[in-house]
């Protein structure tokens, strides 16, 4: 029986998708650059030598947006008889300067390669992952204020479980495929508002401290590449004091309203406790 290949097997979205497929007894296999549990196949999206074995017997693929060897992946997928690819892309590709942005360029390149191929392609374009908030955990555990260059910058945090459910819906019902969906959470929230919500979940106030762009870049040096950090700062500056637009993409695919950031915070509160 043909299967679904789920790449990015160590990520929260891939794991959530795998659990949904298993619960509905839909044949699938997890794939990862570094397989960490039995049954996970080796598929490094930067290494074409790993593609043929991973794609044997596969009809659909849930694909992470790695551009390094996307042309080789597309070629191998077509030769293997893959019919449908569901790409985890990003709403950043909708920006006018997407091709030149470190935040969007890789996602856009993978989208373009898939859309130019004979593969039926579904594009899932989340906005801001709610899980980005995990980057604040170190400050909380160290009892230090969270440093924010733009506390009033808005985003649309979407729960990883909603993205997994959206991917499952498209894979389980091919009639939903072949188009693009922009996925957001149900609220446009500032970083300061997210910290207040997270504080409620962990049972204590979470202080933050506004910092300059230069200070924030110095603090993340070694963790976030310079051009990427600069692009993030520019994005946050553009949404400082400006709520972002929301979509009904999650509800359209899953049949329910997207989970709130409060729900995400409750689900992940332990990650922020000492």
Residue 97 has pLDDT above 80, yes or no: yes
Strand 154-155 versus strand 58-64 pairing type: unpaired
Of 27-31, 36-40, 86-90, 162-166, which gets the smallest average pLDDT? 36-40
What pLDDT score was predicted for residue 273? 84
Cα separation, 21 vs 28, in Å, equals: 7
| pLDDT bucket at 143, cuts 50 / 70 / 90 | confident
Return the CATH superfamily for domain 127-157+185-245+256-274.
Answer: NAD(P)-binding Rossmann-like Domain (3.40.50.720)
Q: What is the mean pLDDT of residues 108-135?
A: 97
CATH of domain 3-126: 3.40.50.720
Cα separation, 155 vs 244, in Å, equals: 6
| pLDDT bucket at 70, cuts 50 / 70 / 90 | very high
What pLDDT score was predicted for residue 167? 98
Residue 14 has pLDDT above 80, yes or no: yes
Q: In Å, what is the CA distance from 105 to each residue of 55, 110, 164, 179, 191?
A: 26, 9, 23, 20, 25
Domain chopping of the chain, boundaries? 3-126, 127-157+185-245+256-274
Query: Tokens for 261?
Result: 């950031």
- Comparing 3-126 with 127-157+185-245+256-274, is the CATH topology the same? yes
Taking only the tens place, the pLDDT of each residue in 205-223 is: 999 999 999 999 999 998 8
Residue 1 has pLDDT above 60, yes or no: no
Taking only the tens place, the pLDDT of each residue in 18-47 is: 999 999 999 999 999 998 778 899 999 999
Please give the share of the chain, as a percent, with pLDDT higher than 90. Answer: 92
DSSP track, the chain: --EEEE--TTSHHHHHHHHHHHHTT--EEEEESS--STTPEE--TT-GGGHHHHHTTEEEEEEE---TTHHHHHHHHHHHT--EEEEE--GGGGSTTGGG-TTTHHHHHHHHHHHTSSSEEEEEEE-SBGGGGGGGHHHHHTT-PEEES-TTBEE--B-HHHHHHHHHHHHH-GGG-SSEEEE--S--EEHHHHHHHHHHHHTS---EEE--HHHHHHHHTTTS-HHHHHHHHHHHHHTBT-PPP--SHHHHHHSSPPPPHHHHHHHTGGGG--
Residue with tokens 């995990």: 134
- pTM for the whole thing? 0.96
Maximum C-alpha span of the chain: 56
């Amino acid at each position: 029986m043909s299967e679904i290949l789920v790449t990015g097997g160590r990520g929260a979205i891939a794991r959530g998708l795998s659990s949904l497929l298993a619960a509905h007894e839909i044949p699938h296999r997890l794939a990862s650059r570094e397989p960490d549990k039995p049954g996970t196949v080796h598929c490094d999206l930067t290494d074409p030598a790993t593609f043929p074995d991973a794609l044997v017997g596969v009809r659909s693929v849930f694909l992470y947006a790695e551009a390094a060897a996307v042309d080789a992946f597309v070629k191998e997928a077509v030769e293997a008889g893959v019919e449908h690819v569901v790409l985890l892309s990003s709403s950043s590709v909708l920006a006018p300067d997407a091709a030149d942005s470190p935040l969007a360029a890789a996602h856009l390149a993978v989208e373009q390669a898939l859309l130019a191929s004979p593969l039926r392609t579904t594009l899932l374009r989340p906005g801001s992952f709610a899980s980005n908030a995990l980057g604040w955990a170190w400050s909380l555990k160290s009892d230090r204020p969270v440093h924010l260059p733009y506390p009033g910058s808005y985003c649309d945090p979407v729960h990883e479980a909603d993205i997994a459910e959206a991917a499952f819906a498209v894979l389980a019902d091919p009639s939903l495929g072949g188009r693009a969906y922009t996925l957001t959470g149900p609220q446009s929230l500032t970083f300061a508002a997210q910290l207040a919500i997270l504080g409620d979940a962990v049972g204590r106030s979470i202080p933050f401290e506004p910092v300059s762009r230069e200070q924030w870049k110095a603090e993340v040096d070694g963790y976030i590449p310079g051009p990427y950090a600069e692009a993030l700062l520019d994005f946050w500056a553009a949404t400082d004091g400006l709520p972002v637009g929301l979509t009904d993409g999650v509800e359209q695919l899953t049949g329910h309203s997207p989970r709130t950031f409060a729900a995400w915070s409750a689900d992940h509160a332990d990650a922020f406790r000492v």
